[in-house]
């Protein structure tokens, strides 16, 4: 529904389905917490006012991929549910297909792969905050130190631009 609602904001059924999905996600977050994706995204939002959903979208494929075999089975199951892989695929293949589907959806939604405005001198501090938020509060599949989290900020940083400015792709609005 996300692509339908994005491409045609007048599609009330797709929007209603997205509302239900957001509600269910909120319930899930309150029961299981979130993880490093959200923790790193929170620090980017707090430091640079980067919208939380945007930061999550940019970070998600990188961090899921970095978790490696610890999440292959669960991501494979999600990939089967999403229709992007088959039950017969290996857990590793299914996880890779799921992460690739996220990257493709991001591309179709006009979500960038990098975020401008990140300053090198802020990365250590943001990574420290993200590490404290995600561990021990969140049930993460792989524990990471602040130093290990720093790589995600470097991986999404667009050093060619000094300020954040996001312009979503044009779409039909409601």
What's residue 159's pLDDT? 84
Contacts of residues 149-152 at CB distance under 8 Å and 24 or more positions apart, as own/partner, are 149/36, 149/39, 149/40, 150/123, 150/124, 152/36, 152/40, 152/59, 152/62, 152/63, 152/66
Q: What is the pTM of this model?
A: 0.87
Q: Taking Cα atoms as reference points, which of 118, 128, 111 lies closest to residue 56?
A: 111
Q: Which residue has the tokens 């610890």?
A: 70
Rounded average pLDDT over 104-116? 95
Helix 69-82 × helix 52-67 angle, to 10°: 120
At 164, the pLDDT band (50, 70, 90 cuts) reads low
What's residue 112's pLDDT? 95
Rounded CA separation 125/132 (Å):
11
- How many C-beta atoms surround the C-beta of residue 43 within 10 A? 25
At 24, the pLDDT band (50, 70, 90 cuts) reads very high
Rounded CA separation 167/174 (Å):
18
Average pLDDT, the chain: 90
> Which carries the bigger pLDDT value, residue 59 or residue 35?
59
Tokens linked to 94: 């299914």
Give tens-digit pLDDT for 60-82: 999 999 999 999 999 999 999 99
């Amino acid at each position: 529904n996300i692509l339908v609602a994005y491409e045609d904001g007048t599609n009330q059924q797709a929007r209603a389905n997205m509302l239900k999905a957001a509600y269910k996600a909120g319930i899930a977050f309150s029961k299981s917490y979130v993880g490093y994706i959200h923790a790193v995204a929170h620090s980017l939002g707090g430091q640079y006012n980067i919208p939380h959903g945007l930061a999550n979208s940019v970070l998600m494929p990188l961090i899921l991929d970095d978790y490696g075999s610890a999440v292959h089975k669960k991501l494979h199951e999600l990939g089967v549910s999403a229709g992007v892989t088959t039950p017969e695929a290996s857990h590793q293949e299914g996880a890779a297909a799921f992460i690739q589907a996220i990257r493709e959806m991001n591309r179709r939604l006009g979500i960038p792969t990098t975020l401008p405005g990140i300053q090198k001198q802020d990365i250590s501090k943001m990574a420290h905050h993200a590490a404290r938020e995600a561990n021990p509060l969140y049930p993460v599949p792989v524990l990471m130190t602040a130093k290990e989290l720093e790589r995600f900020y470097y991986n999404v940083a667009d050093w060619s631009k000094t300020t954040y400015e996001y312009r979503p792709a044009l779409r039909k609005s409601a």
